[in-house]
């Protein structure tokens, strides 16, 4: 506690603060805002400005001359365009798979399972969230390795596992972010009032119809909220791709591979996921998903 002159400095300061709410607010906000704006936004701003710089091709030194060459290259180089499209497709596929897998699980934990067992089931969904990201990717590296569990399970059918590559990447990312989709869906489904479902049944709707016309519209904002995580986490990932992706390149890998030799180009490439994620957020804002985050 900062001291002031007087017999009870702390008490006097408290009295001063009590009379002056603006001063209290300023004291509360100064440190965290300095940290977040100067340190974080400042760094980001420098990074984005550096996307307009170039690199000396001989020395790899950054040349601070304004140019839009990097963005020009980004838009015209076929490889870059391919990787961007592939990354967006992977992020969308992972999101769709997560939603597809999460819905029955969440429906079970929220509405079908015996109510007393529900908190335990939610904890069971939460536990893998705490398990290390790397360990989970490692688990899939083991499963998909040559002669691993996937090969062993598919052998009786005369098939082999997918090995390392693009399918492995989609599979692993789906596994990683699945709980982020199950949890919001569980919460939304648990909050659907029984009365609505009864009313729908009383009016003659079969379960399928009730699901489509009553349940689905009510949980859609939560699914959209979950998709923010599944989408943006997949889009930025480069570690999983390095571990199980084989030769697959996503936008994160492209950024990573440019950092040492061409930081301005890496910065320009880094704006792509940021722009895509902002566009995605704007697109789903209408569902009300952002209020559910």
CB 283 within 8 A of CB 207: no
- Helix (H) and strand (E) counts in the chain: 15, 2
Four-CA torsion 7, 11, 12, 18, nearest 10 degrees: -170
Q: How far is the CB of 68 from other proteins (least distance, A)?
A: 20
Q: CB-wise, 166 or 182, nearer to other proteins?
A: 182
Q: Report phi then psi at 62, rounded to 5.
A: -75, 130
Residue 251: name the closest of 278, 273, 280, 275 by CA.
273
Q: What are residue 246's phi and psi, to 5 degrees?
A: 60, -125
Q: How far is the CB of 57 from other proteins (least distance, A)?
A: 20
Q: What angle do CA 51, 56, 61 make, to 5 degrees?
A: 75
Minimum distance of other proteins from residue 224's CB (angstroms): 15
Stretch of 71-79, 162-170, 195-203, 218-226 lying at the interface with other proteins (CB under 8 A)? 195-203
- Compute the chain's Rg from CA coordinates: 25
Q: What are the percentages of helix, strand and coil residues in the chain, rounded to 5?
A: 80, 0, 20
User: In the set 35, 82, 160, 288, which binds other proteins (CB under 8 A)?
Assistant: 35
Least distance (Å) from other proteins to the CB of residue 102?
8
Which residues within the stretch 130-159 sit at the binding site for other proteins (CB under 8 A)? 130-136, 138-143, 145, 147-149, 151-152
Please list every residue from 40 through 59 that binds other proteins, using CB under 8 A.
40-44, 46-47, 50
If one asks whether residue 104 binds other proteins (CB under 8 A), the answer comes out as yes
In the complex, minimum distance from the CB of residue 82 to other proteins, in angstroms, rounded to a whole number: 19
Question: What's the per-residue H, E or C state across 21-61?
Answer: HHHHHHHHHHHHHHHHHHHHHHHHHHHHHHCCCEECCCCCC
Query: Judged by CB under 8 A, which stretch of 64-72, 74-82, 102-110, 217-225 contacts other proteins?
Result: 102-110
Choose one: 14-22, 64-72, 77-85, 217-225; the region binding other proteins (CB under 8 A): 14-22
Among 33, 63, 154, 282, the residue binding other proteins under the rule CB under 8 A is 33
Nearer to other proteins, 73 or 142 (CB): 142
Beta carbon of residue 4, minimum distance to other proteins (angstroms, whole number): 13
Secondary structure class of 162 (helix, strand, coil): coil
Considering only residues 223-282, where is the footprint of other proteins by CB under 8 A?
228, 232, 235-239, 243, 252, 255-256, 259, 263, 266-267, 270, 273-274, 277
61-90: contacts with other proteins (CB under 8 A): none
């Amino acid at each position: 506690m900062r001291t002031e002159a007087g017999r009870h400095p702390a008490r006097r300061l408290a009295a001063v603060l009590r009379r002056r709410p603006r001063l209290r607010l300023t004291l509360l906000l100064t440190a965290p805002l300095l940290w977040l704006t100067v340190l974080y936004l400042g760094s980001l701003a420098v990074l984005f400005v550096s996307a307009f710089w170039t690199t000396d091709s001989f020395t790899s030194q950054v040349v601070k001359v304004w140019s839009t060459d990097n963005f020009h290259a980004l838009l015209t180089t076929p490889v870059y365009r391919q990787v961007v499209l592939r990354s967006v497709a992977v992020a969308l596929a992972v999101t769709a798979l997560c939603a597809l897998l999460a819905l029955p699980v969440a429906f079970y934990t929220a509405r079908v399972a015996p109510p007393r067992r529900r908190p335990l089931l939610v904890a069971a969904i939460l536990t893998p969230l705490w398990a290390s990201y790397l360990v989970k990717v490692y688990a899939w590296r083991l499963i998909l390795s040559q002669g691993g569990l996937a090969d062993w399970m598919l052998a009786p059918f005369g098939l082999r596992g997918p090995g390392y590559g693009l399918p492995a990447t989609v599979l692993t990312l789906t596994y990683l972010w699945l709980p982020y989709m199950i949890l919001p869906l569980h919460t939304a489904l648990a909050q659907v009032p029984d009365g609505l479902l009864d009313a729908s049944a009383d009016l003659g709707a079969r379960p399928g119809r009730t699901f489509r016309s009553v349940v689905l519209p009510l949980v859609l904002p939560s699914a959209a909220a979950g998709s923010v995580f599944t989408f943006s986490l997949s889009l930025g990932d480069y570690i999983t791709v390095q571990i199980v992706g084989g030769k697959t390149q996503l936008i994160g890998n492209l950024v990573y591979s440019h950092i040492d030799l061409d930081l301005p180009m890496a910065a320009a490439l880094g704006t792509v996921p940021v722009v895509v994620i902002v566009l995605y957020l704007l697109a789903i804002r209408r569902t009300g998903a952002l209020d559910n985050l």
